[in-house]
């Protein structure tokens, strides 16, 4: 696994100031390189987002630049960079860890705290995205539906080239969790294609970014729908969040019971 020379040289020289490292564009859509190519084939838990955001991109560039100076192999650099930056950020990772802990997801991998997935137990996690490079529309991070990904050739090519083929490299008994409805639909698409076992898909968590507002609190039951401000944009999707949390709890419980019987 090698880092494309042009991207590697730009990041080595400028770090996060190398952005944007454009892969391509199509109308209002653009795609920027993020060094997240590493696939953790031994992972027991796979978390799937929509696309890396600018915070993850910048953090990855800074980390990669520092690692390049140490003379490591590209494969090792990509592994460490992804461990450092995937689902990173002052709101995203803490919110994600909070949901994983509260829902009991770590019970699938022997217990412990979710923070360990980015530390001493990183071998358990494969972090990825439906569009694995940073996708933007009108200069803002892409947050659309899966149908939009399939409709926009630039995004569809990235999904088909950089996401779908990686699934065959993962353990057949790994469990999958999506971050929101878009990656959940993408996982259903992959299951329809026979690329993953549908029974291993547990459902979806609320998207943990700070742009999500109060949706993590609603998802976890910390805040009731009736307590939301009438102008809170989460109100119109609060029912779906509650239903998704219930479904993930049900599937998680079934998976743990099946494992206990086995």
* Per-domain residue ranges of the chain: 18-261
pTM: 0.96
Residue 212 has pLDDT above 90, yes or no: no
Rounded to whole angstroms, the Cα distance separating 86 from 171 reads 20
pLDDT category at 2 given cuts 50, 70, 90 is confident
Q: To the nearest whole number, what is the mean pLDDT of the chain?
A: 95
The mean pLDDT value for 174-183 works out to 98
The mean pLDDT value for 167-196 works out to 97
CATH 3.30.1300, applies to 18-261: no
Residue 239 has pLDDT above 70, yes or no: yes
What digits encode the pLDDT tens for the residues 70-126? 989 999 999 999 999 999 999 999 999 999 999 999 999 999 999 999 999 999 999
Q: Is 89 left (phi over 0), alpha (psi -120 to 50) or beta?
A: left
Judged on CB neighbours under 10 Å (0-12, 13-18, 19+), 116 is: middle
Closest by CA to 53, choosing from 131, 130, 135, is 135
In a 13 Å sphere around the CA of 146, the CA atoms on its Cβ side amount to: 19
Q: Which pLDDT score is estimated for 258? A: 85
Percent of the chain beyond pLDDT 90?
A: 89
Rounded to whole angstroms, the Cα distance separating 156 from 158 reads 5
Q: Which pLDDT score is estimated for 262? A: 66
Q: Which pLDDT score is estimated for 260? A: 79
Residue 145 has pLDDT above 70, yes or no: yes
Q: Which pLDDT score is estimated for 200? A: 96
Q: Which pLDDT score is estimated for 210? A: 76
């Amino acid at each position: 696994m090698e880092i494309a020379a042009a991207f590697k040289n730009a990041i080595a020289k400028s770090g996060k100031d190398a952005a944007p490292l454009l892969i391509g564009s199509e109308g209002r859509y653009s795609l920027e390189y993020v060094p997240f190519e590493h696939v953790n084939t031994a992972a027991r838990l796979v978390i799937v987002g929509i696309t890396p955001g600018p915070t993850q991109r910048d953090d990855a560039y800074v980390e990669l630049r520092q690692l390049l100076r140490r003379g490591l192999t590209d494969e090792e650099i990509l592994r460490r960079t992804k461990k450092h930056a995937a689902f990173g950020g002052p709101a995203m990772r803490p919110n994600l860890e909070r949901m994983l802990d509260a829902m009991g997801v770590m019970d699938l991998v022997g217990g412990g705290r979710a923070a360990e997935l980015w530390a001493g137990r990183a071998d358990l996690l494969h972090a990825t995205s439906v569009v694995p490079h940073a996708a933007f529309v009108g200069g803002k991070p892409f947050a659309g539906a899966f149908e939009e990904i399939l409709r926009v050739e630039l995004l569809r090519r990235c999904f088909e080239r950089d996401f779908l083929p990686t699934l065959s490299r993962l353990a057949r008994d790994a469990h999958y969790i999506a971050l929101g409805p878009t990656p959940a639909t993408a996982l259903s698409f992959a299951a329809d294609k026979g690329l993953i076992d549908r029974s291993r898909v547990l459902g979806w968590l609320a998207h943990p970014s700070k742009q999500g507002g109060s949706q993590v609190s609603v998802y976890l039951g910390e805040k009731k729908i009736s307590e939301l401000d009438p102008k809170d944009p989460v109100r119109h999707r609060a029912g779906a969040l509650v239903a998704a949390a219930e479904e993930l709890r049900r599937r998680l419980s079934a998976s743990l019971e099946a494992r206990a019987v086995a």
